[in-house]
Amino acid sequence: MLKSLLEAIDILESKDPLSKIREKVKGIKYEEKNFGEVTYLKAYYGNGGKKRVEILGRLGAIQMKDSKGLVSDADGAIVSLALILELINLKDKGITFDVDVSVVTNISLNAKLIPHKPFNFMIPLIDFNDALKEEVDPNADLILSIDSTKGNRLAKYDDFAITHVIKDGYILKLEDEVIDIYNRVTGHEVYMVPLTTGDLLPLDFNVYHISTLISPWLYTDSPVIGLATVSKQVVPGYVTGVLNMEMLEHTSRFCLEILKYVEKEGKIYNEEELKEIEEKLGKSNLIRVKRGST
């Protein structure tokens, strides 16, 4: 995984990353969509697997205008690109997965800054909801949403942190086996992102969001797990020189191990718990704020 990670960073730091990516993904289904300065890339692995998992790299941009090098916000693009490169590398070695994978991220050299404390959010140079529509794979059975979340005062760890499952407006506990994967990959106890109700609301609600990590749930009926690249320091998304290689490798490897787990029909959350909640309380009121569904 480390080799693929280093290759992803090398590609994204180049003057023309898209041409290099196109060369690397020959042989698998791949498409690009341009929205002005924003280019979304979508790479697809597999053909008729048991399940479909989306690896979604969320970010405003990999670089900022006049910056030199990858910014902190680029983590989602780095991890998602590293994952597809690793899948291609394993396929070349004869190692394949009976699970379909869609990898989605954007490759942009500038982003919008919107008000947020302690530092402004970076979002793509298109309408935020349009970005989410483009990012969410409607055919995915599970979405792993990866987003740099260093500009906050709550999730302050020295490795990536994870959310519980977001499904149908409820926050549901991760299955213990998923936490076990996290423990094995990182070598330490699980680091959780402390979510509030505000985090599940659209960004146009004037409430605190730790990041836009789990916003994709607004456009899918499938479960979403947030993977937040964080730091002990409060770091703006638009600064350079803060890539944490160990954290990025752990995040990438966690995604790969989740694919193996899903291939073996492992459960992400307890479906009976959601059924119990809905039978006793009804559908979540947060369903009303959804902007789209499968």
Distance CA 191, CA 248 (A): 15
Q: What domains appear along the chain, each with residue ranges and CATH number?
A: 2-289 (3.40.630)
Residue 177 neighbours by CB under 8 Å, 6+ apart: 261, 266, 267
Q: What is the pTM of this model?
A: 0.95
Residue 23 confidence (pLDDT):
95
Q: 189: exposed, middle or buried (C-beta count within 10 Å: 0-12, 13-18, 19+)?
A: exposed
Give, rounded to a whole angstrom, the gap between the first and last alpha carbons of the chain: 32
Handedness of CA 169, 217, 63, 90 (dihedral sign): positive
Distance CA 128, CA 211 (A): 13
Q: What angle do CA 64, 76, 198 make, to 5 degrees?
A: 95
Residue 64 confidence (pLDDT):
87
Which band of pLDDT confidence, cut at 50, 70 and 90, is reported for residue 293? Answer: low
Q: For residue range 212-265, what is the model confidence (pLDDT) as tens digits?
A: 999 999 999 999 999 999 999 988 888 899 999 999 999 999 999 999 999 999
With tokens 């941009």, the residue in question is 61
Residue 27 neighbours by CB under 8 Å, 6+ apart: 88
Residue 183 neighbours by CB under 8 Å, 6+ apart: 189, 190
Residue 294 confidence (pLDDT):
41
Q: For residue range 60-114, what is the model confidence (pLDDT) as tens digits?
A: 999 988 778 899 999 999 999 999 999 999 999 999 999 999 999 999 988 888 8
